[in-house]
Amino acid sequence: MHTRVPPRVQQIMAKKLERSVPGYMKQYIGPYMQQNVVHPTIGGPPGNFASPSAPATVQVPPTLHANTGESWRQNHFQPTNAAPANEAPVQAVPGQPGVPPQPAEPYAFITDPVAPKRSFSLPGAGSLPLRIAYAAGGLLVLLILFNVVKNLAGGSSGTANFLPVAQDQQEMVHLVTIATKQQGLSTNTQNFVATANLSLGSQSSGLLQYLAKNGYKPKAKLLSQRISPALDSQLTAAVANTTYDQTFQDTMKTQLNTYLSDLTHTYAQTSGKNGRALLNSDYDQAKLLLSQLGD
């Protein structure tokens, strides 16, 4: 169904066409307006008729070209983007050469919002108790690492291996302390007791300090486990039999040999520089003490 164009609108459209078309085409404005605006059914496909209410108009046949038979209107007013008559329209595919890229949807950020990026977080990181637990665990790990580094820097590897050496020292210090209270000792024994009292006391103090610096502090009860009540009773009986001097020297020889053996064993199990230096020094002093007893 077509709508009639008022005469005033027709005049305005005709004037605009006169200004926009070349001079040699102005003679065709009247027929074009009559055919396409006033009566668009004229020249249409067969079977289309004008509305009964529309006024009678004179049909203007379109001008045909001699060679092609096409109307002048079809030849000169064909859309510029229309495909040629003998060629099928080519469907443009975005991305092919010569085809301009399709413009992005300007409102895609509203219809398709970008999903927010997820950052890594620990489970329950927003809970205060769990955050405190994580912090405490981190401090514990740091403390363990600190002790490991400290042990490595101090030159110790397995400070518990030093326990037999420390127990030997405690036993010999105990025996020498009792010997200092005895009367009638030979000059050789007296000299040994005086030297052993200073040497063994210094060795025991140095070893305990070394162990404490490396985080190992054995209790006094553990250190005194090698102190033998049976050996004390034997020396007490030697005082009554006036054989203390010889009994004491024999006892100290046995203790020093055991001490040297434990020093050697502990040295082999120690890789730290400081620990090995301490054990080596104690070994040399023990050899000197043993030589005083006529080994």
The string of DSSP codes covering 71-105 is BHHHHHS--TTSPPTTSPPPPP-TTSTTPPPPPPP
- Pairwise CA distance, residues 168 & 265, whole Å: 13
Q: What is the DSSP code (8-state) at residue 141?
A: H
CA distances from 290 to 95, 170, 283, 293 (A): 98, 17, 11, 5
Cβ-based neighbours of 31, under 8 Å, separated by 6 or more: 60, 63
In sequence order, the β-bridge partners of residue 64 are 71
- Residue 293, Ramachandran bin (φ over 0: left; ψ between -120 and 50: alpha; else beta): alpha
Q: pLDDT tens, 215-266? A: 899 999 999 999 999 999 999 999 999 999 999 999 999 999 999 999 999 9
pTM over 0.85: no
Longest dimension (CA), the chain: 165
Helices 229-240 + 163-179 axis angle, to 10 = 20
Angle at 212 between CA 210 and CA 214, to 5 degrees: 75
- Pairwise CA distance, residues 267 & 259, whole Å: 12
Q: What is the mean pLDDT of residues 75-96?
A: 53
> Percent of the chain having pLDDT more than 90?
42
- In this predicted structure, what is the pLDDT of residue 14? 74
139-292 homologous superfamily? Ferritin, core subunit, four-helix bundle (1.20.1260.10)
4: its two tokens: 């009639």
Return the exposure string of 29-67: e unless at least 16 CB atoms fall within 10 Å of the residue's CB, then b.
Answer: beebbbbeebbeebbeeeeeebeeeeeeeeebeeeeeee
CA distances from 110 to 52, 103, 114, 116 (A): 52, 16, 9, 14
State phi, psi for 64 to the nearest 5 degrees: -100, 145
Q: At 65, is the pLDDT very low, low, confident or very high (cuts 50, 70, 90)? A: very low
Q: What is the CA radius of gyration of the chain?
A: 59
Q: What is the mean pLDDT of residues 106-133?
A: 61
For the chain, residues classed under CATH 1.20.1260.10 are 139-292
Q: At 46, is the pLDDT very low, low, confident or very high (cuts 50, 70, 90)? A: very low
